[in-house]
């Protein structure tokens, strides 16, 4: 994470910059840009996966997996946490982006 005001990166240990606020990711957002990846690693049985960068009403920007067929910049989306990849014995959760 990066502070929009001072461009300082978040310190995961909260030793250097303990004053970063935790904000929940989810809810309404706007699609800023997106891309589709076709060269996927082994274990993913889809032809491609789309990812998008969205902006939330509070100004926070995040990357998530697009769950829409025809993404367009400026589109209203809804973000929520969900399963983005399943492997034997390991599940990966991340941000999923759906049509509003």
**Quick one: tokens of 43?**
């274990």
- Residue 9 domain-assigned? no
Number of structural domains in the chain: 1
Tens digit of each residue's pLDDT (9 = 90 or more) over 54-91: 999 988 899 999 999 899 999 999 999 988 877 667 88
Q: Do the domain assignments include residue 4?
A: no
Residue 1 has pLDDT above 70, yes or no: no
Residue 44 lies in a domain: yes
Given a cut of 70, is residue 20 above it in pLDDT?
Answer: no
Mean pLDDT, rounded, for 21-46: 86
Q: How far apart are CA 89 and CA 85, in angstroms?
A: 11
* Residue 1 placed within a domain: no
Is 6 domain-assigned? no
Q: Which residue has the higher pLDDT, 15 or 82?
A: 82
Report the alpha-carbon distance of residue 62 to residue 39 in Å, rounded. 22
CATH code, domain carrying 84: 2.40.50
46 inside domain: yes
User: What residues contact 56, with CB distance under 8 A and at least 6 apart?
Assistant: 25, 27, 28, 29, 62, 79
Asked if residue 88 is part of any domain, the answer here is yes
Its domain, for residue 79, covers: 27-99
29: Cβ contacts below 8 Å, ≥ 6 apart: 54, 55, 56, 57, 62, 76, 77, 78, 79, 97
């Amino acid at each position: 994470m990066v502070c929009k005001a001072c461009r300082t990166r978040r310190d995961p240990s909260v030793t250097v910059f303990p004053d970063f606020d935790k904000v929940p990711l989810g809810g309404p957002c706007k699609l800023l840009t997106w891309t589709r990846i076709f060269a996927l690693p082994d274990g993913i049985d889809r032809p491609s996966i789309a990812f998008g960068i969205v902006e939330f009403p509070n100004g926070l920007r995040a990357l998530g997996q697009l769950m829409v067929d025809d993404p367009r910049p400026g589109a209203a989306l809804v973000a929520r946490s969900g399963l983005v990849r399943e492997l034997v014995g390991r599940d990966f959760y991340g941000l999923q982006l759906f049509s509003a």
